[in-house]
Amino acid sequence: MVNDWVAGERQDTEDIEDLWLEVKNGIKKASSQSTQETWKENKNERWFDKECEEELEKRTTLRLKILKNETEESLMAYKEQQKICKRLLREKKRKYKERQLDEIEENYKNKEIRSMYQGFKQEKKGYQSSSVFYKNEKGELVGNEEKHLELWQRYFDELLNGEENGRMIEENLNKEDIHDEEEEKAPSLREVKEIIKKLKNNKSPGEDQITAELLKYGGEKLEEKIQKLLEQI
């Protein structure tokens, strides 16, 4: 279907943006007709619903009013809404926990042992914080957030202000005229096919919402369009 849509788009444009728009629209039109949107439910946040979202948006609006023009009335309204949000989120989470326990009990009664233990595991596990470590100049692991900031500060200071960086800039300026004379060749159609073939599946798409799978199964016309686009670029 991608192949048919892309082939059906007009062929006379030489503008890069128009050419990419053709490719993107062809993929999206085909995918919207042939696939169904799915999502993976986050079990840890099933309690956070539309009502929670709306109350938090109200709190944000009141906070912005305070930032623009703080009055006693606006401050009182914000504090009241903050109480409402805390109470609502606490209640939603409590009810969710109760449902979890009821589900475990129900699985026990129905002798669904596997599901029961999965529920136990999830309940016991709770929130898991992730630790981030970096290596310093000596190769030692650094886990403290304040130390992280110091490490990054030193790194960027050396990167941007060091002697080596100054030499690199000077060398690049000297080579600028040479690079201007060289013309980079676009990948051939065969190379484009190989690159697309090597894209990894099951990865999150970018802002265009085009996944690697849609490019892989798009057909020869899509590959030709992408190669032409790269030539234009």
The whole-model pTM stands at: 0.41
Helix orientation angle between 145-161 and 163-181, rounded to the nearest 10 degrees: 50
Which regions of the chain does DSSP assign to beta strands (E)?
Answer: 134-135, 141-142
* pLDDT digits 0-9 by tens, 142-182: 767 777 788 888 888 877 776 666 667 667 666 655 555 56
Kindly report which listed range (33-42, 72-81, 102-111, 161-170) carries the lowest average pLDDT score.
33-42
* pLDDT digits 0-9 by tens, 17-32: 888 888 888 888 888 8
DSSP string, 144-196: -HHHHHHHHHHHHHHHHHSHHHHHHHHHHHHHHHHHHH--PPPPPHHHHHHHH
Annotated domain spans of the chain: 2-25+33-38+187-232, 43-125, 144-181
In this predicted structure, what is the pLDDT of residue 81? 92
* pLDDT digits 0-9 by tens, 43-75: 445 788 888 889 999 998 898 888 888 888 988
pLDDT at 190 over 90: yes
Estimate to the nearest angstrom the gap between the alpha carbon of 86 and the chain centroid. Answer: 28
